[in-house]
Amino acid sequence: MLKAVQLRKDYHMGHTVVHALDGVDLHIPAGGFVAITGASGSGKSTLMHILGCLDRPTAGLLEFNGQRISGIGEKQLARLRNQHIGFVFQTFNLISRTSALDNVLLPLVYTRRAYRRKHALEALERVGLAARAKHTPSEMSGGECQRVAIARAIVNRPRLILADEPTGNLDTRTGDQIMAIFDELHAEGITIVLVTHEVDIAVRAQRIIRMQDGRIVEDHPVAPEQRQVVLASRGQGLPASGAIQPMQEPPAERGAVAGVLGVSATGE
Ligand code: ADP
Ligand code: MG
């Protein structure tokens, strides 16, 4: 599904250069479930942006489904993102004064008009929010917003989902509900790459990659026993109830959101 060879990403800040990615080699087979961990600033989000074709590397090779990304033009790249990749972010990136349904409709620009509503409602149903389709994100809890964002990510039935700290703004119990949805999507064959700080989230993946200073310093499978030990130790303490946190940052504007979804901000 994804193959990266010696990926580099430099950011120039005045006279200094930040090597956000410093030679990353990575292969993620179709159907994989990979967690990426590492300290803040280690390059996780930069890697996700490049794997998701939202940004281009300074150097190195990236292949998506055997196709070299570097040779593809912007329009084609936007279409590839729209059709094959779903994104989920820590701060949801929903359009705040637009209904859940309209948020989920946004990526459906290449779908025949007659099917759009049906597909969007099906996606909302998948995440248990069909009844709240008319509500706006400002009327929803953080967990509900993230479920809307997942519905938007899956509405085009992507083969790959990239999630950057999707539970970072949620309490433990709500985070578990979100992870249960990712587990289901993975069971259906969708490849999932998830950035997280939390060990008990990371062990739900099949494989954990740890980054440090723009490099991969660890890459190992998760043993089922390891997963059980971590999750069992968690289960002993009851999660705090009713502690759903409000959204902590204003949602991105339409333009920024549209770019991620591979659609134009001004409609079709
Ligand atoms: P993480 O997601 O692991 O916290 P990031 O990928 O966001 O790390 O950042 C990696 C490094 O690149 C950090 O040193 C960060 O300050 C720097 N960086 C990230 N994005 C930019 C940018 N747009 N401009 C300049 N530096 C950046
Ligand atoms: Mg980050």
Return the pLDDT at 262. 75
Instruction: In whole angstroms, give the CA distance from residue 53 to residue 64.
Output: 9
The ligand 1 site (C-beta within 6 Å) comprises 11, 13, 18, 20, 38, 40-46
Closest ligand to residue 40's CA:
1
The predicted model gives 167-174 an average pLDDT of 94
Question: In a 10 Å sphere around its CB, with 0-12 CB exposed, 13-18 middle and 19+ buried, how is residue 109 labelled?
Answer: middle
Contacts of 220 by beta carbon, 8 Å cutoff, 6+ apart = 207, 208
Structural contact between residues 8 and 58, judged by C-beta atoms closer than 8 angstroms: yes
pTM (2 d.p.): 0.89
pLDDT tens digit sequence for 41-69? 999 999 999 999 999 999 999 999 999 99
| Atom number of ligand 1 nearest to Cα 40 | 4
Cα 46 to averaged position of ligand 1 atoms, centre (Å): 6
Nearest CA to ligand 1 atom 15: 41
Mutate to test the pocket of ligand 1, among 9, 46, 210 (most ligand atoms within 8 A of CB): 46
Nearest CA to ligand 1 atom 13: 41
3-state secondary structure of 245: coil
Binned at pLDDT 50, 70 and 90, residue 228 comes out as confident
Helix (H) or strand (E) holding 35: strand 33-38
* Residue 183: both structure tokens together: 């587990």
How far lies 219's CA from each of 3, 132, 222, in Å?
15, 40, 10
| Atom number of ligand 1 nearest to Cα 43 | 6
Report whether pLDDT(248) > 50: no
* Cα torsion angle, 214, 216, 26, 6, sign: positive
Closest ligand to residue 214's CA:
1
| Atom number of ligand 1 nearest to Cα 49 | 6
